[in-house]
Amino acid sequence: MFRDYKRHYHKVKKVASRLTDSGGSFSLQIKFEGKSISAQNITPNQEEAVRLVVLMRRFLNPADSLYFRNVWSFLREHFSEEIPEGALEGVDSLIERMNQGYGAINVNGEDLTAENIYQTLSSGGYFENDEVAENYLRNIISSPIVGALFWHQFYGYTLNGFNLSSVLFSIILEVERSGKYTSSINESHPINRCIYCLTTDGSFTSEEHIIPESLGNDNLVLPKGYVCNKCNNEMLSRLDESLINFEPVDWLRVWFMEYTKAGKLPHANLQNMSLEKTHPRHIIVTAKDKTGGIKNEKKLEDGTVSFDIEGKMKKVNFNLLGRSLYKIALGMVALADGHEHACDSRFNAARDFIKHGAGINNNFLMRTHFEPHPDGRITPIPSVEGTLFAIDLFGLAFIVNLEEMPVLGLNEEAAKFNFESFSLLDGFSAH
């Protein structure tokens, strides 16, 4: 938890600093003109404000492992004596002030705190499509006063949440310096043998994300000692980049990811169009030619609109794509079965393929028609021979075998689920 919290906090802090440097502040402007009254919520630098709200969602979403109440409860339960003196009451006081915000807003006889309003706006349109929340908001937020007040509380809750997350970050750093924390983590000496090049030389100070972090992976991570810095920062980084830039993956990333590794809203650049996410539920599609425009637009009975868009891809280097998939599969072997197993000689041909792009006597299968979804999954496939994995990225699925036997081919079952086979035997020069 601490590693993920610190990594995500640094992303949020960078955005918060840029928002501060841009000048201005979140404010509520109320005007009285005769017998009428109007209100407006003022937001400085809308682009950075959206990024801050998006990144802060992990700290403010009760369903997330980094939700501030979850983190605070964990700290109090496991490290209560290591928490600095005065911090217990201080954090509880911050949470109370954050919940109250600028004061409760009474709507139809109900007092709504800042926390109530933030979660309602989040689930009722900003991040999710909860029908109950949407109907509730539709009935009350049409009033210009209520709408402006709600959004003012929403942003205020987010900013106060950032202040709280900064305090929790400082407490985590303090706890990590304690003897209890040091004794609670695995202090065994790192293995320091690279599963990809088998070297024991050089530096081993980097963790390795099995699926690229830029595709939303925070959980499948190899610890220090499994991958040398040279492989991590050079070859593996290039393979990760090639997978991220593979047009179907890049396209799906815009639809399903809220932010990139750098904390930015994702965008994709295809041959005939570009896609840019400007809000968790807003994507701008810009056509580069006639083929990149919206087609077959239809208004549905529920008020939504259906349409078709068709993106053009550049020629696919299946060898490079296969190397990036093999890199993921070998990393998963290490995570699931251990470092020693991943260094076994049975994977030497796969290692050579990953490192140099030399052809390997096998194929990989790719599903060409599928139902997209927001997750990434790696699943071992039981087999008498070989080491097989299904790799699913947002619904785009692949099947690979890290060994040269059996050779993967299309059987009736695979064809039924729209898989096609691509050879990896012909090598290309390394990229």
Segments of 192-312 assigned E as strands: 208-209, 221-222, 267-269, 273-279, 282-287, 295-299, 305-308
Check the CA dihedral 105-159-46-216 and report its sign. Answer: negative
**Alpha-carbon distance 329 to 348, whole Å?**
13
Asked if the model's pLDDT at residue 69 lies above 90, the reply is yes
Cβ contacts of 401 within 8 Å, gap of 6 or more: 362, 383, 386, 387, 388, 407, 408
Put the strands of the sheet holding 282-287 in their side by side order. 267-269, 273-279, 282-287
**Alpha-carbon distance 279 to 244, whole Å?**
21
How confident is the model over 74-92, as pLDDT tens digits?
999 999 889 988 888 899 9
Q: pLDDT above 90 covers what percent of the chain?
A: 55
Q: Which residues pair with 146 in a beta bridge?
A: none
**Alpha-carbon distance 365 to 347, whole Å?**
19
How confident is the model over 100-155, as pLDDT tens digits?
888 878 877 888 899 999 999 999 989 998 889 988 888 887 776 888 888 899 99
**Alpha-carbon distance 426 to 317, whole Å?**
11
Q: Name which of 9, 106, 99 is nearest 52 in CA terms.
A: 9
CA distances from 159 to 19, 27, 111, 114 (A): 11, 12, 21, 11
Q: Name which of 216, 214, 138, 162 is nearest 53 in CA terms.
A: 162
- C-alpha radius of gyration, the chain, whole number: 25
Asked if the model's pLDDT at residue 201 lies above 80, the reply is yes
Note the pLDDT of residue 311: 81
> Strand, coil or helix: what is 54?
helix
CA distances from 249 to 1, 25, 215, 395, 402 (A): 28, 37, 9, 10, 22
- Higher pLDDT: 357 or 359? It is 357
Tokens linked to 427 = 């090598």
How confident is the model over 23-68, as pLDDT tens digits?
767 877 777 776 676 677 778 888 889 999 999 999 999 999 999 9
Q: Which residues pair with 38 in a beta bridge?
A: 31
